[in-house]
A and B are shown apart, each in its own frame.
Chain A
Amino acid sequence: MKKIDKSKADAYFREKNTYMIVYFIIWAIVSYGIVLFAEPLSDIYFNGFPLHYYMGAQGALAVFIILLFVNAVMGDKIDKKYGIDPNKNEAIGRGSTVDH
């Protein structure tokens, strides 16, 4: 175990949170935002659907899936940037169980 600069660990946490906040803003716009403005959006058509219906039935869900995969890939990238080794994590993670 080596002591590292706390500011480096904090930067890691901040960077992950910044991304998370961006994901949540997009998440809120495609679900809650669209519902709030459903009436005006219903005059716009997309692929045969009125837009509000399309977003509820397919659009929001597609964005959710993309956000989750972006989060998984970006999470790995951020880990790499801060020198986190996935194999090491696995070795620690498997053993880490609270004392039973």
Chain B
Amino acid sequence: MDTQFITSLAIILATFALYIFIAIYNKAKETSEFYVAGRGVPPIWNGMAIGADWMSAASFIGMAGTIMMLGYDGLAYIMGWTGGYLLLTFLLAPQLRKSGSYTVPEFIGDRYKSKTALIIAAICTMIISFTYSIGQLSGSGVVIGRLFEIDAKLGTMIGVVLIAFYAAFGGMKGITWTQVAQYIVLIVAYLVPVIFMSLQITGNPLPWLSYGEIVGKLGELDRELGLSEYFAPFEKGTKWQFLALMFTLMAGTAGLPHVIARFYTVSTMKAARWSGAWALLFIGLLYFSAPAYAAFSRFILMTQVAGSKIAELPAWTKTWVDTGLLKVADTSGNGILEWSELIIANDIVVMATPEIANLGIFVIGLVAAGAMAAALSTAGGLLIAISSAFAHDIYYRIIKPTATDKQRLNVGRITIVIATLLAGLVALNPPGAITQIVAWAFALATGTFFPALVLGVWWKRSNSKGLIAGLLVGLGVTLTYIFAAKYGGFTILGIIDTGAGVFGAIAAFATNIIVSLATKPPSQEIQDAVINLRYPEQMTYKDGEVYMEE
């Protein structure tokens, strides 16, 4: 065992102990604490919790690398994964909070007065959240496995046990406060290396201001090598693919049940508004930094690694070559590693940065702890979403409405443990790369919940038949396009599987509207309830009149 191993292990164990302590301290005693943290989370803290809930292993480990590989085209992820917060905060979050429901399926079930709608929405929630959590668990497995030089499978199992324990124990209340701690760990871990890199390369400690000149220099280096410039637009895909991906990521953000659930934990519509603003500020700290990571890493690789003799490569390259994520084949046989001979996997950029920039063992351990925090916090939120869809929406609302608080809590906890184990089993042999699995979850949310919720909140004429048809058509079109694009080579305007949500959303909106208009309008009671969502808590709409609480 070397010093690096012991340092990393100590940092990770210390953060794990912190998360478990917080979960035990905030144990959920009632169902309202288990599902919505007792509805009293202050907006700033909720903003941090949303940030941790939101930023997954894909954001932390994968995004900077994706931008480095794709250049300008990778920025669709930056704009898409942040611009969605406007859709969510303006169109949905305050209104859903006013409705008073515990979960997204419950809102849909009550809004449309339909048990079928409730069940379909609960199943969609479970499918989307389950898909997403597989990505998180395999991500945490990769981190633990690589760090301790054990099999990634064993790493995944360690992550599974930990998540199942603290999510089942603390419920939403425990998760909220562990997520706050996880946000702090992950943002510090993300910013420290990029600030040091900025100091090393430009002498300026503010990477956000300093990397512009590096982006310019990368363009020059590319021109010298006869490549297209780093920042040249639409080199890796069409303009339409960029726009479709950006839309899918934005609308998916607004339709992901585990993210919406975080807005149920605050006390008012006003607090929901402020939560959205704080959340994007906290998320922005990481998203502002990812393109800087990408630029600095590419610059170091191009100027310090490429062009050196194969025999004299820095020591860190060997460890990563061993993992298969870095390839340094001297295909031209001249003994010198050229830029075109260097093949780098997206996922190593952030993880390898502390070694590339020679930042020391403490920072390497910190980055590993940050990556774990990102994976665990998102997985925790996802498991609560799965658990509430089953224990609250299906078990309590459909199967056994007479269940006591205690029975409901027990079912909720058991669901979490089973869901974690199942997701862990699938994650042992993941069906795709982390970013790919995550992209599918977004496409599904865009094709199902986004249209259903927007029309449910903003259009009182939408009825249960329209909703059910819309959900099924949206799901069908999205899945068909993903498979046709990925395995059949079928594309429209060059839009590939990751942009599939745009077609699902159009189909679902159209179906919902056409079927609703062709069938009977919903009851006056439902229409009144929809109008009531327009006003703040103090105002109530009833029978064409507005009443105000004094």
Contact = CB atoms under 8 A, between A and B. Distances in A.
Interface of A: 1-6, 8-9, 12-13, 20, 23-24, 27, 31-32, 35-36, 38-39, 42, 45-50, 52-54, 56-58, 60-62, 64-65, 67-69, 71-72, 75-76, 79, 83-86, 88-90, 92-94, 96-98, 100
B308 interface: no
B538 A98 contact: no
A53 B75 contact: yes
B78 A65 contact: no
B1 interface: no
Nearest to A97: B100
Interface stretch (B269-277, B347-355, B365-373, B470-478): B269-277
Q: SS class of chain B's interface: helix, strand, loop or mixed?
A: helix
A13 B76 CA distance: 33
Nearest to B401: A100
A61 B546 CA distance: 38
A96 B231 contact: no
Interface string B231-249: 1111000010011001000
B246 A3 contact: no
Q: Which 5 A-B pairs have the closest CB atoms?
A: A48-B212, A56-B75, A68-B277, A9-B546, A38-B233
A31 B79 CA distance: 7
Interface string B198-225: 0000000000110011111001000000
A23 to B, nearest CB: 7
B212 A49 contact: yes
Contacts of B243: 32, 35-36
Contact of B86 (A50, A68, A89): A68
B287 interface: yes
A42 B216 CA distance: 12
Given A1-B549, A35-B243, A98-B110, A89 B75 contact: no
B86 A67 contact: yes
B525 interface: no
A32 to B, nearest CB: 6
Contacts of A50: 215-216, 219, 231
Contacts of A65: 277, 280-281, 284
Given A35-B242, A100-B102, A54 B546 contact: no
B538 A6 contact: no
Contact of A20 (B85, B90, B267, B550): B90
Contact of A90 (B99, B232, B268): B268
B534 to A, nearest CB: 5
B34 to A, nearest CB: 12
